[in-house]
Structure 1
Amino acid sequence: MRMTVIGTGYVGTVHAACMADIGHEVLGVDIDADRIASLAAGRAPLHEKGLDALLARGVEAGRLRFSTSLAEAAAFANLHFVCVGTPQRPDSAAADLRYVDAVVEELGPHLRPGSLVVGKSTVPVGTAARIGRRLADLAPGAEVAWNPEFLREGRAVDDTMHPERLVVGVGSERAEALLRAVYRPMREAGVPVYTTDTATAELVKVASNAFLATKISFVNAMAEVCDAAGADVTVLARAMGADSRIGAQFLDPGLGFGGSCFPKDIRAFAARAEELGAGEAVAFLHEVDRINTRQRRRTVDRARALLGGAFEGRRIGVLGAAFKPGSDDVRDSPALAVAAAVQAEGGAVRVHDPQALDNARAVCPDLTYALDIPKACEGADLVLHLTQWPEYRAIDPAALAGVVRTPLILDARNCLDGRAWGAAGWAFRALGRPARSTGGAS
């Protein structure tokens, strides 16, 4: 099949590369000429496992090419996936739909009758219906469907090629048949397809993100209680997760969520519910957001207390800048927020990350960055573990003790082996865990 992917950010680049890899002819479109040039050369503009190889393969085979022209996109195909960003509005918690609307306004006049515009962007419920009404004026005979993505950064290629489910919100049997044809290899592999109206499809995405964010904030709220009670949140989480009704995934206590999805999506969901008169139904999402933001402050407060009440004149080594491992994304990164807050209070901060240093430097140019772990921790009075990269779990605590000034570490992600660090002479601390259970002395 021939198709276009409009917007070559995180979702669009992955979708375009994967669709080409399963045999479709794909034209990726973006207004960023430099990004298009990089993609046309087979180079991904972001770090994602397996994506570079997929891009290069598609470009070399001639199934994947790129353009800056929406007129060319309309001439190339009748099937268009819209993957542009929907960030939070600067003046409210609502989603900013200017990029989605811009695509509709520019693409619409070029569309041929029978064209199908498929949204993959995360949008407030009702967006597809509104776009459909606008396209009825701009391109009579064109149709709108919604096909939300459920990608995890760091696993996006696998999530696209082997999804747990496909959701298609359509208004006609023809649109459903087209989308089923797009994903035929996935369907033949047994992936379930949930066919529904566009409003339900839009809600499936935001409701899923809201539920996962709630799980994270719930266990972090329990970490606060554990700190107050002298209990161990990691054992609590494992015991809770063993219950099949609860499940262990996303029940990881720590610094909280960040990135380009969860924070802005739960705020936009709550804002849209208010507009619909259903704000009370999702009022709990405001507390989910507050708990998550509070984790960053709690981490800074805990680090300050470990240093006797002040960061001034102290060196702090920071392990992690990306919002999660497997990604170079620093958008709303808890790790970077903590590092910046510590430096703002007078700490001499030096940050390491395996992939995200360039992006971090662009966002926080005043921080100091190190290309290796020992350099980041050299002479440190405190080490903060803020992103759970496997490289940090593989650190030899005894070797790192030789480069710091004081062997003191705060594991804000609760995934390091506290007993191993304690045995190597470190004072090991973690959120929601008493010192006795982390291998360190009080």
Structure 2
Amino acid sequence: MRISVIGCGYLGAVHASAMAELGHEVIGIDVDERKIAALAAGRPSFFEPGLPEILASATETGRLRFSTDIADAADAQVHFLAVGTPQTAGSSAADVSYVDAAFAALLPHLAEDAIVVGKSTVPVGTAARLAGRLAEEAPHASLAWNPEFLREGFAVKDTLEPDRLVYGVAEGDRHAASVLDQIYRAALEAGTPRIVTDYATAELVKVAANAFLATKISFINAMSEIADATGADVTALADALGHDARIGRRFLNAGVGFGGGCLPKDIRAFTARAEELGRGEALAFLKEVDAINLRQRQRVVDLAVLALGGSVHRKKIAVLGVTFKPDSDDVRDSPALDVAVLLKGLGADVVATDPEGIENARARHPQLDYTTSSREALHDADLVVLVTEWREYRALDPDATGRLVAGRRIIDGRNVLDPVAWRAAGWDYRGLGRP
């Protein structure tokens, strides 16, 4: 099928490349000329495993091309809206101005029977509003909402092999659902569950999923605070809870908390939208979920101060990781980067390292010292703080690492190291909720 993807940031670049990988003819549209030039040359502007390969393959075959002119999308049958919805400055609400602008720019170029498909995460009610505008200004086209469920680091797989497909369509609109079935035929033939519902439910699926995951993470982090107060082991607690089929073990890993461009923003926007709907009390608990999450960052800093005898001033601290999660270069709302900045603010000589996120971190916080070499960061460090669970940090050998540092002290901000092995090697090991 002929497809356009409006917005070529993280979501749009992955979606456009994956659709071309599936055999569709795709054009990606974005107003950023530098971004478009890089994508056209096969170079994504961010790190995502597997994306450079499918991007290069699709552009070389001619199935994928890019443009800054939205008129070039006029012959597409399906238009995916994949622009960002950042948090509004001074508010928790989502900023949908980019969605509105992309939609308005696309309206004059919609062919007969064209379908506009929303991928962006938007406040519930947005799709119905856009559908009303479409009915007035381009009644020959229709609207569907097809939320994304991408995990950074696994976005290519999640697009090509989704765990579910959700279509939000107008009542009685079988055409839109049929066209989306053609687009996702490979996934459907592989047995991917498919849910066809109304606009509001489709919009809610994404934010509700993120709210649930955020709640689960903050729950186990709250338990880690209780574990610290009682001498319990939060990791053993999570293992025991995880055997309950009603609960499950995934996302029950206590640590420095969640971050990135989705979970924090989405739960805040969801809360703001509930208040606009007069149902703020229904999601009031998400404010505490957010507060618990942010508190974890200070807990790691407090542990660092305690480990160094009450002050980090002029102590060299190696911070392992600046991205919000491994296999990503995303430092938006990163707990790891926040910890580094807080320690720097207390007078520590912070040296931060990360396999992929250094340049993005430097752009936000140039006051920190950075290195891509973990060995350099660890050299003569008085304290090591692991805050992003990259594979290379999880695999650190306690004896070999001990020969690099000035003092064998480590804060395991992700509870991913073996306390017994590190303590046996002479380390003062401290985790969150681990005795």
Long gaps (5+) in structure 1 = 435-442
Counterpart residue identity of residue 386, structure 2: H
Retained in 2: the 8 A contact 1:112–1:139? no
Alpha-carbon separation, structure 2, partners of 1:361 and 1:80: 36
Written as runs of structure 1 = structure 2, the 5 A alignment for 1:192-207 is 192-207=193-208
Written as runs of structure 1 = structure 2, the 5 A alignment for 1:321-360 is 321-360=322-361
> Which residue of structure 1 lines up, in the alignment, with residue 46 of structure 2?
46
> Which residue of structure 1 lines up, in the alignment, with residue 132 of structure 2?
133
SS in 1 for 2:8: coil
Deviations 1:86-134 (A, max 9, x none): 0110021100001001101111122223221100000010000111122
Alpha-carbon separation, structure 2, partners of 1:143 and 1:307: 62
> Which residue of structure 2 lines up, in the alignment, with residue 282 of structure 1?
283
Alpha-carbon separation, structure 2, partners of 1:370 and 1:423: 29
> Which residue of structure 1 lines up, in the alignment, with residue 306 of structure 2?
305
> Which residue of structure 1 lines up, in the alignment, with residue 65 of structure 2?
65
After TM superposition, the structure 1 stretch with the greater mean CA deviation from structure 2, 304-313 or 245-254, is: 304-313
Counterpart residue identity of residue 48, structure 1: E
Retained in 1: the 8 A contact 2:27–2:64? yes
Counterpart residue identity of residue 71, structure 2: A
Retained in 1: the 8 A contact 2:5–2:82? yes
Alpha-carbon separation, structure 2, partners of 1:276 and 1:255: 32
Pairwise CA distance, 1:352: 0.7
> Which residue of structure 2 lines up, in the alignment, with residue 165 of structure 1?
164
Retained in 1: the 8 A contact 2:85–2:94? yes
Counterpart residue identity of residue 33, structure 2: A
Aligned positions, number: 433
> Which residue of structure 2 lines up, in the alignment, with residue 437 of structure 1?
none
Pairwise CA distance, 1:135: 2.3
Retained in 2: the 8 A contact 1:111–1:142? yes
> Which residue of structure 1 lines up, in the alignment, with residue 107 of structure 2?
108
Alpha-carbon separation, structure 1, partners of 2:44 and 2:108: 31
Counterpart residue identity of residue 394, structure 1: A
Written as runs of structure 1 = structure 2, the 5 A alignment for 1:408-423 is 408-423=409-424
Counterpart residue identity of residue 226, structure 1: A
Counterpart residue identity of residue 123, structure 2: P
Counterpart residue identity of residue 198, structure 1: Y
Alpha-carbon separation, structure 2, partners of 1:79 and 1:129: 18
After TM superposition, the structure 1 stretch with the greater mean CA deviation from structure 2, 299-308 or 316-325, is: 299-308
> Which residue of structure 1 lines up, in the alignment, with residue 85 of structure 2?
86
> Which residue of structure 1 lines up, in the alignment, with residue 178 of structure 2?
177
> Which residue of structure 2 lines up, in the alignment, with residue 438 of structure 1?
none
Matched, 1:240 2:241: yes
> Which residue of structure 2 lines up, in the alignment, with residue 366 of structure 1?
367
SS in 1 for 2:338: helix
Pairwise CA distance, 1:391: 0.5
Deviations 1:257-314 (A, max 9, x none): 0000000100110111111111111111111000001101111111111112211111
Alpha-carbon separation, structure 2, partners of 1:329 and 1:419: 32
Counterpart residue identity of residue 264, structure 2: P
Retained in 2: the 8 A contact 1:147–1:169? yes
Alpha-carbon separation, structure 2, partners of 1:110 and 1:165: 31
Pairwise CA distance, 1:136: 2.7
Deviations 1:1-40 (A, max 9, x none): 0000111111111111111011000001111111111111
Retained in 1: the 8 A contact 2:29–2:66? yes
Deviations 1:316-342 (A, max 9, x none): 000001100111110100000000010
Pairwise CA distance, 1:358: 1.1
Matched, 1:13 2:13: yes
SS in 2 for 1:76: coil
Alpha-carbon separation, structure 2, partners of 1:258 and 1:112: 40
Matched, 1:385 2:386: yes
Retained in 2: the 8 A contact 1:322–1:356? yes
Alpha-carbon separation, structure 1, partners of 2:109 and 2:156: 31
Alpha-carbon separation, structure 1, partners of 2:111 and 2:12: 23
Alpha-carbon separation, structure 2, partners of 1:128 and 1:375: 51
SS in 2 for 1:47: coil
Written as runs of structure 1 = structure 2, the 5 A alignment for 1:289-300 is 289-300=290-301
Alpha-carbon separation, structure 2, partners of 1:357 and 1:331: 13
Alpha-carbon separation, structure 1, partners of 2:75 and 2:240: 54
Pairwise CA distance, 1:216: 0.2
Q: TM-score, normalised by structure 1?
A: 0.97
Alpha-carbon separation, structure 2, partners of 1:268 and 1:237: 29
SS in 2 for 1:318: strand
Deviations 1:191-228 (A, max 9, x none): 01000011100001100000000000000000000001
Retained in 2: the 8 A contact 1:113–1:140? no
> Which residue of structure 1 lines up, in the alignment, with residue 223 of structure 2?
222
After TM superposition, the structure 1 stretch with the greater mean CA deviation from structure 2, 197-206 or 371-380, is: 371-380
Retained in 2: the 8 A contact 1:418–1:428? yes
Counterpart residue identity of residue 180, structure 2: L
Matched, 1:317 2:323: no
Counterpart residue identity of residue 129, structure 1: A
Retained in 1: the 8 A contact 2:75–2:111? no
Retained in 2: the 8 A contact 1:104–1:135? no
Alpha-carbon separation, structure 2, partners of 1:393 and 1:329: 19
Alpha-carbon separation, structure 2, partners of 1:100 and 1:123: 9
Alpha-carbon separation, structure 1, partners of 2:354 and 2:417: 16
